[in-house]
Structure 1
Amino acid sequence: MNVHDSERLSGLLEDAGYVKAGQDGDPDLVVFNTCAVRENADNKLYGNLGQLAPVKSRHKGMQIAVGGCLAQKDRDTIVQKAPWVDVVFGTHNIGHLPALLERAAVEKKAQVEILESLETFPSTLPTRRESAYAAWVAISVGCNNTCTFCIVPALRGKEEDRRPGDVLAEIEALVDEGVIEVTLLGQNVNAYGSDLGDREAFSKLLRAAGQIEGLERIRFTSPHPRDFTDDVIAAMAETPTVMHQLHMPLQSGSDRILKAMRRSYRQERFLGIIRKVREAMPDAAISTDIIVGFPGETEEDFEETMHVVREARFTNAFTFQYSKRPGTPAAEMEEQVPKAVVQARYDRLIALQEEISWEENKKQVGRTLEILVAEGEGKKDDKTDRLSGRAPDNRLVHFTKPAEPVRPGDMVTVEITYAAPHHLLAEGPVLSVRRTRAGDAWEKRQAKPAAKPAGVMLGLPGIGAPASLPLAAPAGGCCGD
C-alpha cells in the first residue's frame, strides 16, 4: 500500500511538471513517504533528514517533503526536529503536495497540512506505475479494527470502500495498457463491502475481475481472519485467474495474547481457515505475519505460536519483534517482555520457519510452472546469466536465460530443479516462451525517449534504504492486518 501511495505521489508530481532526478548532482526535491508501524521508521526518517541538511544548505531552492503515516502522527514534531523540512502532509491529503510545495517556496516557510478525514479517494489521483505488467489497485482505505498494537486506524481513519464499478473500470483501463497482473489492496482487504452493506462484496469482486479479458493473474493483500468467509475461498478456487496464494496474518498463536491484541479470532478458527483453503486449493501457498514478544507473552504463549507455525506450514512469514508504538493501548500495557527474551524467541521462530519454508519449497522440485518474467527481482541475474520471475503462487523463481529474447511481462515455462528456503531454481533450458501484451507494454515504455529536465527535478534517493526483512514474503498490508 505504501508503494502504491508512492506511485501516486510520483504521478502527481510528474503531472505538475516535475521530472525524476538523475544520479548526478543534487535533486531539487526529495519526498519521504513514511510508515509508522515500527519504531525504526522514526529513527530512519530523522536520520535521513539529518543527512539531507548539508545537501540542502549547499543547493539553493531544494525542497524536502514528508508525508504518510508518520507525518500524520508526528505533525509539527517533524518541523521542530528538522526545521529544514519544507512540507509535511498526511495520509488524507496527498493530492495537495504540489500546491503545498509551491506555497512553501513563495512564503519561505514550512507548510504543515494534516487532514483528519479522507478528502479524495487516492485512486482518482494521477499514478506513475513502476511496472508495465503488474499493478496495485486499491479497493478500500482505512480500517475498522482496533488491534491494540496498531496505530494505523488512528492515522488512516475508518474503512471507506470504492464502488465495485470504479474498481473494475480501473482494472480494465490497466489491462488496456498492457497490465496482466493486478493485486487488490486494502488495509483489511476482505472486509470490503462493510461500507457498502454487502458481506459478499469481496468474493463478488474477485469473480467479476476474473471475467476481464486479458487479465491473467489476480492477487489480494492483506485479509483478516475475522472476515475470511467460505464464499471468498470458493471464489478463489473457482476463478481461474485468482492465484492460489494467500497472505493470512496470524500475529500470535496464543488465544490469550490474541485477546490482548483485540484480534477477533482464536487459534482454532485460524487453523480452520487454513484447512479449508488447502481442501479447496491443495497447491495454495500461504504466508503470514507474526509478532514476537507482545506485552505479557509467556513461554507457553510463544510455544502456541510455534505450534500454529508447525501446523499451518507457511510458505514464508513476515516476523517482527514487538515494537512499542506511542498512542496504542499495547504501549501502556504492563509486562513488557525483556529485549533479550524477545530476541531469543525470535531466533527460534526464524529457524523453524526457515526449515518449513525449505521443506515446502522442495516439494516444488520437478514441477513444470509458468513464470511471469519480472524486472529487478534477481539481484545476481547478470552474474549467473539467469532471469527471474514469479510463479502463480508468487514463489520467486530464477531460471536460465533462454537464447531467444525474453522481456519483463512475458511468460516462460520451466521445470524446477532446485529449492532454497526463499527461492526456486530452474537450471535446465526454458521449455517455452510466450510473448505477451505486457511484454509489448514494457518494450514500448523502454523505447520512449528520456524526458528532458524541465527546471525542477523529483529526487527519490536511496538514502537509508531499509534492510530486507528476515523472511521474504508477499507484500502484506501496512500494519495489523
Structure 2
Amino acid sequence: MSARTYAVRTYGCQMNVHDSERLSGLLEDAGYVRASVEDEADVVVFNTCAVRENADNRLYGNLGRLAPIKSGRPGMQIAVGGCLAQKDRDTIVRRAPWVDVVFGTHNIGHLPTLLERARVSDEAQVEILEALETFPSTLPTRRESAYAAWVAISVGCNNTCTFCIVPALRGKEKDRRPGDILAEVQALVAEGVIEVTLLGQNVNAYGSDIGDREAFSKLLRACGRVQGLERVRFTSPHPRDFTDDVIAAMAETPNVMHQLHMPLQSGSDRVLREMRRSYRQDRYLGIIEKVRAAMPDAAISTDIIVGFPGETEEDFEQTLHVVREARFAQAFTFQYSKRPGTPAATMDGQVPKEVVQERYERLVATQEEISWEENKKQVGRTVEVLVAEGEGRKDDARDRLSGRAPDNRLVHFSRPDDTGAGPGAPRPGDMVTVEITYAAPHHLLAEGPVLAVRRTPAGDAWQRRTGSPSAPRGVLLGLPTVGAPAAPPAAGPGCGPCGE
C-alpha cells in the first residue's frame, strides 16, 4: 500500500510560513509523502491568515473549488488551520461541511491525530486550544529552503492595536529561552543554512517574558558568534521597543544585515493614537535617523495602512510627509480592511472606499518614485548576492539568475558562463559578486559578467537536496515566497509579520 500524500497551502505571514514547515514535518514524520500535484493529494491542509478580509474570501473560494474533487475521491481529507481557523471555529464546518479537520494556532502538533480521528469516526474534528501547549519550533520540520531559515524567538503579542486581531488569535507573548534559539541556529548552520531570520509578532519585544530588556540585542550579538552563519535578519520590530542597544548590535555585529522592516502604519499622531500605536511621528523618524547615523547603507522598509477610520486628508498628508522624510526602500501598503472583533471595526468615520482608493494610489506613486530614486543610488556598486530559487523575473530566465544583496534588495544578474571560460554556474545558496548596472523601483540589474562565484555549504546543502550540480538552464532563481526569509512578505496591517 502506497503512502498517503499531502499538500500544505499557506496564506499570510512569515509566522504562517514557519508553522507550515512544521505541519509538513509532522505529516512526513507520520508517514505522509509530499504530493507532486497539490490537487491530487490525499490530504490538503490550508494554513490561514485572518488579518484582512480577502483571506476569508480566498479560503472559502479554494474550499469550494476542492469540494467536487473531494466528492470524486473517496478518502481525500481537507484540514483548515491557522488564524482564520482560530477565529471562525465551527463556522468553517458550517460553511464548508466537506472539511474534515479544523485546528487552531495553538495545536498544530495535533494535526496527524486529528486526521486519523476524522478518518475513523467519519465526522469532522474541530479542536481549538486557547493556550499554547508547546513552541512550534520544537516540532518536526520540513524546511522549504536548504540555505535560509526562519527561527521563531517568540509567539503571541502583548499589544492592543485597534485594527489587529492577531493577539486574540495567537495569545500573549511567550519567549523562547535564548539557549534554545541558539541551539536551533547552530543546528541549522550544521545542516548548511547560512542565513536566518529571527521571527516574532513583535520581535524586538523579546525579553519581556523573561525579564531582560536587552535580551534581543544580546541575541543578535550571540548570533554573530555562530561560526558559518553569514546573514542574520529579523522581522518585524515595533517602534515602541526599538532601543539604542538594538541599533548598536545591528551596527557592530558583522553578520547582522543592515536591513530593517519597521511598520509605520500611519504618519499622523492622531491616527496613531486611535490605532493604539504607542509612538508618534517624531519618535518614528528619530529611530530612522539613529539607524542611518549608525548604518548609512541601511535599507529600510515599512507597512502603511490607508483609510483607517476617521483618517482625514490632513492625516494622510502626514503619512506622505513621513514617507518622504524616511525615504523607504520599499513600503507594503494596504487599504484598511474592517475585521470583526477589532475595536476599529465599530469606530465612527469609516472612510468611503473611493477616497481610500484615491489616497492609496497617491501613496503608491509617491513610494514608487522614492524606491526608484533610492535604487538608482546603487548603480555602480559592487555587491555580494546570495543566489536563491523561487520568484523573480519571468522573462530571460534562461540567461539570468536572481538573489538578494545584503540590504535585501532583489538583484537579477547574468548567468555566469558554465562552459569553463568563466567562474561557473552558481547554485542556490552560493554567493556571487556583481556590479549593479541598472535600477528599477523593485529590483536591481547586474548586466555585466559575474565578478566572482563563492561556493558555500548552503550551495552544497541545496545540491544534496536536489541532486543537481548547479542551477539548471531555464530555471529562474530568485527568493521563494515560502520558506526563504530574506524578503518578508507584505506584513499587513499588524505590528508584527502578519498579512495575507
TMscore range, shorter length: over 0.9
Query: How many residues of Structure 1 are paired with residues of Structure 2 in the alignment?
Result: 460
Q: Which among 132, 143, 165 is matched to residue 151 of structure 1?
A: 165
Residues 349/70 of structure 1: CA separation in 2 closer, same or farther (3 Å cut): same
> What aligned pairs does 1:52-201 form with structure 2 within 5 A after superposition?
52-201=66-215
Q: Provide TM-score, normalisation by structure 2.
A: 0.90
Q: Return the alpha-carbon distance in structure 2 between the equivalents of residues 288 and 177 of structure 1.
A: 32
- Residue 335 of structure 1 aligns to a residue whose secondary structure is coil
Q: Which among 433, 453, 466 is matched to residue 413 of structure 1?
A: 433
Q: Which segment is superposed worse, 2-11 or 228-237?
A: 2-11
Q: Which among 203, 206, 226 is matched to residue 217 of structure 2?
A: 203
Q: Could you give the per-residue CA deviations for residues 140-172 of structure 1, whole angstroms, max 9, x where no partner exists?
A: 000000000000000000000000000000000
The residue identity in structure 1 corresponding to 2:441 is: P
Contact 2:205 2:241 in 1 (8 A): yes
Q: Return the alpha-carbon distance in structure 2 between the equivalents of residues 382 and 446 of structure 1.
A: 23
Answer yes or no: is 1:355 the counterpart of 2:375: no
Q: Could you give the per-residue CA deviations for residues 32-67 of structure 1, whole angstroms, max 9, x where no partner exists?
A: 000000000001101110101000000001000000
Q: Return the alpha-carbon distance in structure 2 between the equivalents of residues 62 and 312 of structure 1.
A: 51
Q: Which residue of structure 1 lines up, in the alignment, with residue 456 of structure 2?
A: 436
The residue identity in structure 2 corresponding to 1:387 is: L
Q: Could you give the per-residue CA deviations for residues 68-121 of structure 1, whole angstroms, max 9, x where no partner exists?
A: 000000000000000000000000000000000000000000000000000011
Q: Could you give the per-residue CA deviations for residues 372-422 of structure 1, whole angstroms, max 9, x where no partner exists?
A: 000123242654510000000000000000011210000000000000000
Answer yes or no: is 1:475 the counterpart of 2:495: no
Q: Which among 426, 434, 446 is matched to residue 426 of structure 1?
A: 446
Contact 2:332 2:491 in 1 (8 A): no
Residues 69/226 of structure 1: CA separation in 2 closer, same or farther (3 Å cut): same
Residues 434/381 of structure 1: CA separation in 2 closer, same or farther (3 Å cut): farther
Contact 1:26 1:59 in 2 (8 A): no
Which runs of 5 or more residues in structure 2 are unaligned?
A: 1-14, 418-423, 469-480
Contact 2:303 2:491 in 1 (8 A): no
The residue identity in structure 1 corresponding to 2:153 is: I
Contact 1:381 1:388 in 2 (8 A): no
Q: Which residue of structure 2 lines up, in the alignment, with residue 249 of structure 1?
A: 263
- Residue 300 of structure 2 aligns to a residue whose secondary structure is strand
Q: Return the alpha-carbon distance in structure 2 between the equivalents of residues 167 and 208 of structure 1.
A: 10
Answer yes or no: is 1:40 the counterpart of 2:60: no
The residue identity in structure 2 corresponding to 1:126 is: P
Q: Provide TM-score, normalisation by structure 1.
A: 0.94
Q: Return the alpha-carbon distance in structure 2 between the equivalents of residues 381 and 7 of structure 1.
A: 30
- Please provide the CA RMSD for this pair: 1.5
Residues 476/212 of structure 1: CA separation in 2 closer, same or farther (3 Å cut): farther
- Residue 444 of structure 1 aligns to a residue whose secondary structure is helix
Residue 177 of structure 1: CA displacement? Answer: 0.1
Contact 2:258 2:407 in 1 (8 A): yes
Q: Return the alpha-carbon distance in structure 2 between the equivalents of residues 351 and 151 of structure 1.
A: 29
Q: Could you give the per-residue CA deviations for residues 266-306 of structure 1, whole angstroms, max 9, x where no partner exists?
A: 00000000000000000000000000000000000000000
Q: Which segment is superposed worse, 373-382 or 396-405?
A: 373-382
Q: Which among 13, 20, 24 is matched to residue 6 of structure 1?
A: 20
Which runs of 5 or more residues in structure 1 are unaligned?
A: 449-466
Q: Return the alpha-carbon distance in structure 2 between the equivalents of residues 88 and 179 of structure 1.
A: 33
Residues 341/285 of structure 1: CA separation in 2 closer, same or farther (3 Å cut): same
Q: Return the alpha-carbon distance in structure 2 between the equivalents of residues 311 and 384 of structure 1.
A: 40
Residues 430/480 of structure 1: CA separation in 2 closer, same or farther (3 Å cut): same
Q: Return the alpha-carbon distance in structure 1 between the equivalents of residues 65 and 394 of structure 2.
A: 30
Q: Which segment is superposed worse, 314-323 or 378-387?
A: 378-387
Q: Which residue of structure 2 lines up, in the alignment, with residue 461 of structure 1?
A: none
Q: Which residue of structure 2 lines up, in the alignment, with residue 302 of structure 1?
A: 316
Q: Return the alpha-carbon distance in structure 2 between the equivalents of residues 260 and 25 of structure 1.
A: 44
Q: Which among 384, 406, 425 is matched to residue 370 of structure 1?
A: 384
Contact 2:232 2:255 in 1 (8 A): yes
Answer yes or no: is 1:446 the counterpart of 2:460: no
Q: Return the alpha-carbon distance in structure 2 between the equivalents of residues 87 and 170 of structure 1.
A: 30
- Residue 268 of structure 1 aligns to a residue whose secondary structure is helix
Residue 2 of structure 1: CA displacement? Answer: 1.2
The residue identity in structure 2 corresponding to 1:169 is: A
> What aligned pairs does 1:328-407 form with structure 2 within 5 A after superposition?
328-380=342-394, 383=397, 385-403=399-417, 404-407=424-427
Q: Which residue of structure 2 lines up, in the alignment, with residue 323 of structure 1?
A: 337
- Residue 40 of structure 2 aligns to a residue whose secondary structure is coil
Contact 2:38 2:44 in 1 (8 A): no
The residue identity in structure 2 corresponding to 1:480 is: C
Answer yes or no: is 1:285 the counterpart of 2:305: no
Contact 1:317 1:473 in 2 (8 A): no
Q: Return the alpha-carbon distance in structure 2 between the equivalents of residues 314 and 379 of structure 1.
A: 23
- Residue 130 of structure 2 aligns to a residue whose secondary structure is coil
Contact 1:185 1:222 in 2 (8 A): yes
- Residue 113 of structure 2 aligns to a residue whose secondary structure is helix
Residue 26 of structure 1: CA displacement? Answer: 2.2
Q: Return the alpha-carbon distance in structure 1 between the equivalents of residues 488 and 92 of structure 2.
A: 31
Q: Which residue of structure 2 lines up, in the alignment, with residue 463 of structure 1?
A: none
